[in-house]
Amino acid sequence: MDIQNKLFDLEGTVQPYQWGGFTYIPTLLSREVKAGQPSAEYWLGAHVQAPSIVNGEAKLDALLQQHPQLLGAAVQSTFGRLPYLLKVLDVKDMLSIQVHPTRENAKKGYAAENAAGVALTASNRNYKDDNHKPELAYALGEFWLLHGFREAASLKEVLAARSELQFLLEVFAESEYAKLYRTVMEMPDDEVAAHLQPLLDRILPAYHAGSLVKSNPDFWAARAAITYNQPGRIDRGIFSIYLLNLVEMKKGQAIFQDAGVLHAYLEGQNVEIMANSDNVLRGGLTPKHVDVPELMKHVRFEPCVPELLEGRDVQPFEKAFITPADDFELHLLELPAAAGLQLTTDTTDIILVLEGELEICEQGTGYSQNMSRGQSVLLTAGASVKISTAGGCQAFRATVPAAAK
């Protein structure tokens, strides 16, 4: 493939996870809706599980291995690969309670499971790769999630308001987060049922009657029971719905989730950028493998005040969402009708159009592409492009922070 140009067409992969919606991502991508098949995530990046296709012919991971100079010298030296993964998510059913390891712990865990002979595809595999997975989520509309432990006063208030959960007040005492979480995660199944069944017997009728609001944890606990409980088994992840912050994000807001922060997406659509990893340690609300001892090694047992990010101006029509992660940075490009902006890259960037249409033109060569909703392009290191739009557009730019370049 000719790599003299620095602007390429890019096609991602749709992941049909069971919790996904059925229409949002196919509509975004102008694809046929497949009956009965969910479209949960759209991946754009070089992850080995689902690398994007460049110009309809080359896998992005292989292309960057063959031509690492496309990453730019600094990113090539620091990471040796494309360090981020860009996604669009459509969350119909809540995702598992989960936490991600630090980079150091991911390397240790990955090496240990390899040494133990655990297959990468094994259902009990905890570490799919050797990387951490901090992530930033940008809400495309109303979006609900759980994020970090509640502050002590709030947590006590939630438990005290529900007679079925008041037994946990003594366990939590003043601020015994680790003891509290260990108690609910290691509790025998029959005790889980003894505590949660009376709660569910009370809140499920209210949920079915439509009298619970989404700002009430009972709403999500009831929905979790309907989604994940099996005959004779109540999912203990329901406890976490009451222990973690319940967050409503509005369109245009973003949130960062670092290693160790328990979280779960509950409902809505978002654009997500993360380190190039698929390492997830689960804590319930899932039929998948839950390794409690391994999970407990990585959780931050401390209160968390969710911080919603609004973005900082980089130049007219471009905002950046700044996080502590050195692997990625998400930029929002919002151009009104007849507007334009210049971009230069010193690493491999991905641009995804969410609304409207734009033209992106490579300076010097004159090579250009017209892009509409759902289309994406790859810009390699050293690209200089002009973006223009006749009727206005919204697009996202995935890149690497200047500090890591």
Catalytically active residues are: 282
> CA-CA distance, 105 to 280, in Å (whole number)?
12
15: tokens are 């992941």
401: tokens are 């922070």
Show the CA angle centred on residue 403, arms to residues 401 and 405, nearest 5°.
Answer: 75
- Integer distance in angstroms from the first to the last C-alpha of the chain? 26
Q: Tell me if 309 sits within 8 A of 256, measured CB to CB.
A: yes
| 3-state percent helix, strand, coil for the chain, nearest multiple of 5 | 25, 30, 40
Q: Which of 238, 274, 241, 240 is closest to 255 using CA atoms?
A: 274
Q: Tell me if 104 sits within 8 A of 368, measured CB to CB.
A: no
Q: Which residue has the tokens 């494309």?
A: 82
The Cα diameter of the chain in Å comes to 70
Q: Tell me if 126 sits within 8 A of 291, measured CB to CB.
A: yes
Q: What is the DSSP string of 350-371?
A: EEEEEEE-EEEEETTT--EEEE
Q: What is the DSSP string of 82-110?
A: --EEEEEEEESSPPPPEE---HHHHHHHH
Residue partners of 205: CB distance under 8 A and separation at least 6: none
Q: Which residue has the tokens 């809706």?
A: 33
